[in-house]
Amino acid sequence: MVDIRNAAPPVSAIRSSLSASLPARDGNVREFTFSTTDFERVRKLIYQHAGISLSPVKQDMVYSRLARRLRATGMRSFAEYLDGLERNGGDEWERFVNSLTTNLTSFFREPHHFPIFADHIRKIGAKRPIRVWCSAASTGEEPYSIAMTVAETFGTNVSHISIIASDLDTNVLATAAKGVYPVERVEKLSPERLRKFFLRGTGSQDGFVSVRPELKQMVSFQRINLLDTSYAVKGPLDVIFCRNVMIYFDKPTQYKILSRFAPIMQPDGLMFAGHSESFLHAADLFKSQGKTVYAPVHVR
């Protein structure tokens, strides 16, 4: 990697080829039989283990993703695979969940949140440690966006701030920890941010950028299942980013998660949600601050 601060910012001539698509409905005969009963079993199991409510229209997506697991395990049918999973899944449970989780993200996604976040931590200042939890880290773009905002707010004086980034999917967490991205993933960032926070790849790494070590050091990654009854995150937390993940849970599951968030937050803490998420059904736990920002309701 080379120092972008001493080079012109990269200009990508490549369009993103990373977008995923659902299997084509072309009428081809499937490799494995996949019945409605099989699909309903998958829906039940992913709900039990990850709280995800799969839509009935996701049958093709489920087939495509789990067919890879059948090939990898040598199973001959979905029924055989699911039977084995329920009998003695072991590590396969993790691979099953990883296969069915969706990880769509980008740097500074839903950008209106970051000035609000910056103002909030600026008000706290250095008078106490600041703890931030990014609870759906995916491949790392969101926690690194948080870290960049922290660095832009406090400069080099960030020793009092900790950023915990978690996800259910261990595969995306591994990508996040590496902090290496195709250059088109950062092409919407300003030249200043590129120079300050990234290194540009050369040789075999040409076409990639790496998050600078000093930014990586600000973030710790760990696997956390939001369905767990308690979280390996120490409170009180000043900020929780939980964006675009609650849409995969039904309302009762959302309420359970929010009921675990509220007690580990500072009384003046903030929680950031996704643009299509609303928690009016949990008004006893969180109150809206506008722009999909919420504050905990602390009942004494």
pLDDT, tens only, 221-250: 999 999 888 899 988 999 999 998 888 888
Instruction: Look up residue 297 and give its amino acid.
Output: V
Q: What is the dihedral of CA 192, 198, 203, 207, to 10 degrees?
A: -70
**Helical ranges in the chain per DSSP H:** 36-50, 59-73, 78-88, 92-100, 113-124, 141-154, 170-178, 191-197, 213-216, 251-261
Catalytic residue among 38, 41, 43, 65: 65
Banded pLDDT at 102 (limits 50, 70, 90): low
Residue 8: pLDDT above 60? no
Tokens of 161: 């701030």
This prediction's pTM: 0.76
Residue 63: pLDDT above 60? yes
- Active-site annotation holds for 65: yes
CATH number listed for the domain at residues 36-100: 1.10.155.10
Instruction: Kindly report, as residue ranges, where domains of CATH 3.40.50.150 are found in the chain.
Output: 105-180+211-296
- Active-site annotation holds for 68: no
DSSP string, 17-49: -----PPP-S-PPPSS---HHHHHHHHHHHHHH
Banded pLDDT at 23 (limits 50, 70, 90): very low
Distance in angstroms between the alpha carbons of the first and the last residue of the chain: 53
Instruction: Kindly report, as residue ranges, where domains of CATH 1.10.155.10 are found in the chain.
Output: 36-100
Q: Does domain 105-180+211-296 have CATH number 3.80.10.10?
A: no
- Residue 212 Cα distances to 9, 43, 129, 171, 183, angstroms: 15, 40, 23, 21, 14
Pairing of β 130-134 and β 161-167: parallel
Question: Closest by alpha carbon to 44, among 85, 91, 3?
Answer: 85
Catalytic residue among 95, 131, 167, 212: 167
Helix (H) or strand (E) holding 268: strand 265-273
